[in-house]
Amino acid sequence: MNCLLETREETQVLLDYCARALSAPGAALVEAHLQSCPRCQEFAAAQKNLSEALDLWQAPEVSLDFNRRLYQRIDAEAAQGSWWKSLLPQFERGPFQPTLWRRGLPVAVAACLLVTVGIVLERPGKSPNSAPKDMAQIESIQPEQVEQALDTMDLLSEFSHHVRTEGQESKL
Amino acid sequence: MVERVKDDMGGAAAALDFDAELMLRVKEGDGASFGVLLEKHRSSVIHFLYRMVQNHAVAEELAQEAFLRVYRSRVTYEPTAKFTTWLFRIATHLALNALRDGKNERSQERLDDDSSDMPVRQVSDLRPSVEQSMVYQAKLAEIRSAIAALPEKQRAAVLMHKYEEMEYSQIAKVLGCSESAVKSLLFRAYETLRARLAHMA
Ligand SMILES: [Zn+2]
């Protein structure tokens, strides 16, 4: 086997080996080469050191109120009768209502109970009367929301296009 | 419903992408499924964003926006690819915009003050000496600074590859480039990082 550092493609194989992304036979080939090549040994050791150094950087814990804040924003938009409701013909009174009604009242009642318990647990500080307060906390401005929606829709269609193109390429 | 997931993802991936299935349920009005998706991916998205912008508050703000966009887009959602690819594409887009808008200036301040980011176990379990703690903080500052100095796309690629353990194909779809472009981004990024952090061995 030629030295893996001679071409970028083969160095990539060595990087994959270091990231433990090679199959067992691939890894065995690299290991065999490593035993006789000090340059590759040095490269692999440097990459291993880098990987261990990067492992030192732990991300902080997610804030306890992250979900509550997000649901508050979703509720606020829903309560506002927000602009995007017009995009949702099936969206009537609440985000989760239509499906519940389609599945029948008993299922809806049971699900509502579960959701309510979930909401109470998830949002300990929120009282049933807090809706007006939530509404008062609406942060978004309409033009900004429209811009964001268009942005996301662009992203979505651009993304779908990209994925389809990739799919076609890979079939070729 | 899984059969509705289009072939673009590849047969095996499509069958396994339970997330896309959940998102289709959200599309039909099932809020509980959104909660499941949130729980499942919240940490990885926030951690990725945190390492991109290097500011916890900004990262959470952007993650909120990312999940809000997912929720808002549910009616138009089509499972043309893995859900996480779409989610990380939104997150990356937001992070790059935030960096370009100058929110990274706040993150630069944080580079000098990351005591609150020290993993809890470093403090409570191992009880490092002041000296060890200082060495750790110095190393951390160097790592963060080296990552922050990478060009945006290289940074995003490294963070997805190293910390989220994403495959080249998925990173390529998130970044909207080819797999070979991703390999090239990673090659250059790791080369830079090895050179900058070599003395930490
Ligand atoms: Zn070699």
Q: Domains in chain B and their CATH numbers?
A: 1-108 (1.10.1740.10), 130-201 (1.10.10.10)
Which tops the pLDDT comparison, B16 or A79? A79
The pLDDT assigned to A127 comes to 37
Question: What is Dmax (Cα atoms) for chain B?
Answer: 58
Residue A114 forms part of a structural domain: no
* Closest chain A residue by Cα to residue B32: A115
Q: Is A142 among the domain residues?
A: no
Residue A20 domain-assigned?
A: yes
Q: Is residue A110 part of a domain?
A: no
Q: Left if phi > 0, otherwise alpha if psi is -120 to 50, otherwise beta: which for B51?
A: alpha
CA atoms within 13 Å, Cβ hemisphere of A15: 22
Q: B136 Cβ partners below 8 Å, 6+ apart?
A: A56, B118, B122, B128
Residue A118: its chain B contacts at CB < 8 A? 32, 35
- A&B contacts, CB < 8 Å: 148
Closest Cβ–Cβ partner in A56, A100, A163 for B143: A56
In total, chain A counts a number of residues equal to 172
Q: What CA–CA distance (Å, rounded) separates A55 from A39?
A: 24
pTM: 0.71
User: What range defines the domain where residue A17 resides?
Assistant: 8-55
- How far apart are alpha carbons B145 and B152 in whole angstroms? 13
CB contact under 8 A, A66 and B144: no
Confidence check: pLDDT of A126 > 60: no
Instruction: Measure in Å the smallest separation between the Cα of B123 and chain A Cα atoms.
Output: 13
Phi–psi pair at B32, nearest 5 degrees: -60, -35
pLDDT tens digits in sequence order for chain B, 201 residues long: 434 444 444 444 444 589 999 999 999 999 999 999 999 999 999 999 999 999 999 999 999 999 999 999 999 998 888 999 999 999 999 999 999 988 656 545 444 444 444 554 444 555 678 888 898 999 999 999 999 999 999 999 999 999 999 999 999 999 999 999 999 999 999 999 999 998 886
CB contact under 8 A, B117 and A114: no
Q: Do A159 and B186 touch (CB under 8 A)?
A: no
d(CA A14, CA A36): 14
Q: Would the CB atoms of B69 and A152 count as touching at under 8 Å?
A: yes
Chain B residue numbers with beta carbons less than 8 Å from the beta carbon of A4 are none
Q: What is the pLDDT of residues A154-166, one digit of tens each?
A: 565 555 555 454 4
Q: How many domains does chain A have?
A: 1
